[in-house]
């Protein structure tokens, strides 16, 4: 199931942008730039821009099933189960309007993004922007080997596995720096493309519920989610879909929570916060950039690692 075939079958455009992620020293150098210099200033004609960000992990590959590390050097297509997972994710998100779609430039992520958007009812013909900054962490010499082999390498080096970097691989800090750089550029892009989409400076009240009927409580904020596919984002005029990878997503969540002091749902347990995301698991955030302030956006988490769409696949097994 080649990516080229997928693009042809789904009538979607995919554009790969940007160079391969820069070297570690360059990433480290950019970390030294003041935070207020990294984010876009909003036009004085607009009070603020608020947009949704839904991040989805790619579907399963054979390497995932066999618990082998892929990283960046192993570029495998989705397995049969991975295709089903992506189709289930697409059905779950079919009525969520996405104005922008981004994907890692690795095959498993691009294929997942194409399958998801094939089912979307509101974004026909949208261009999928492939960005190498969304790639999985590089695991160096551990790529293609069992996950346990990296644990053994870490033990031999006298380190714990999450903090261990195999020779030739990326550190967690380098991955997080890549994630922060992408979020900054995403904010710039969303601000430049959707300044007119945030509505008037004042409203007559909160947006209506994302669910219909009295049986479902309002779910327009992260603190009152009701497991609806459009939770928190139904009435947003701008919404980005990003398809990436497990370790990368964990670093994005850490950036929002630890660097941006992201507001969290009351129901979210701390043990779930940085837990491993299943294949095609989803996270959603609402980001707001304020007028004339070159500062990081405020962030609100709607949900972490949601997997409701996978229930039917588990029942079929």
By C-alpha distance, which of 174, 143, 154, 152 is closest to 76?
A: 143
Active-site option among 28, 29, 36, 58: 58
DSSP line for 146-170: BHHHHHHHHHHTT--GGG---TT--
Residue 146, number of CB atoms within 10 A of its CB = 13
CA end-to-end span of the chain, whole Å? 22
Question: Active-site residue 136, yes or no?
Answer: yes
3-state helix, strand, coil in the chain (%, to 5): 40, 15, 45
Q: How far is CA 176 from CA 29, 57, 193, 228, 274, in A?
A: 13, 16, 26, 29, 13
Q: How far is CA 35 from CA 25, 86, 221, 271, 293, in A?
A: 18, 36, 27, 29, 12
Residue identified by tokens 């969540």 is 253
Active-site option among 60, 87, 136, 143: 136
Backbone φ, ψ for residue 20 (5° rounding): -60, 145
Q: Are 54 and 96 in contact (CB under 8 A)?
A: yes
Question: Active-site residue 58, yes or no?
Answer: yes
**Which residues are known catalytic residues?**
58, 136
């Amino acid at each position: 199931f080649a990516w080229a075939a997928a693009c042809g079958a789904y009538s979607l455009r995919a554009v790969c942008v940007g160079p391969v992620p820069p070297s570690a020293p360059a990433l480290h150098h950019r970390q030294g730039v003041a935070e207020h210099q990294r984010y876009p200033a909003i036009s004085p004609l607009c009070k603020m821009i608020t947009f949704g960000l839904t991040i989805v992990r790619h579907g399963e590959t054979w390497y995932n099933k066999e618990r082998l590390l892929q990283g960046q050097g192993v570029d495998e297509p989705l397995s049969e189960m991975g295709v089903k997972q992506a189709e289930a994710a697409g059905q779950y998100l079919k009525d969520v309007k996405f104005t922008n779609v981004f994907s890692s430039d690795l095959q498993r992520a691009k294929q997942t993004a194409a399958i998801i958007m094939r089912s979307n009812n509101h974004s026909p013909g949208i261009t999928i922007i492939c960005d190498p900054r969304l790639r999985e962490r590089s695991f160096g010499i551990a790529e293609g080997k069992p996950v346990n082999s990296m644990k053994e390498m870490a033990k031999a080096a006298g380190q714990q596995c999450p903090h261990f970097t195999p020779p030739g691989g990326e550190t967690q800090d380098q991955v997080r720096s890549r994630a922060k750089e992408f979020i900054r550029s995403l904010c710039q892009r969303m601000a430049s493309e959707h300044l007119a989409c945030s509505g008037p400076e004042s409203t007559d009240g909160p947006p209506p519920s994302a669910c219909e009927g009295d049986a479902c409580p309002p779910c327009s904020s992260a603190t009152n989610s009701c497991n609806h596919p459009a939770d928190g984002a139904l009435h947003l005029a701008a919404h980005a879909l990003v398809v990436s990878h497990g370790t990368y997503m964990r670093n994005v969540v850490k950036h929002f929570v630890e660097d941006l002091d992201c507001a969290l749902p009351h129901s979210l347990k701390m043990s779930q916060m940085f837990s491993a995301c299943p294949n095609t698991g989803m996270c959603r955030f609402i980001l707001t950039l304020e007028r004339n302030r070159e500062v990081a956006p405020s962030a609100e988490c709607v949900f972490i690692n949601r997997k409701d769409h996978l229930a039917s696949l588990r029942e079929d097994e």
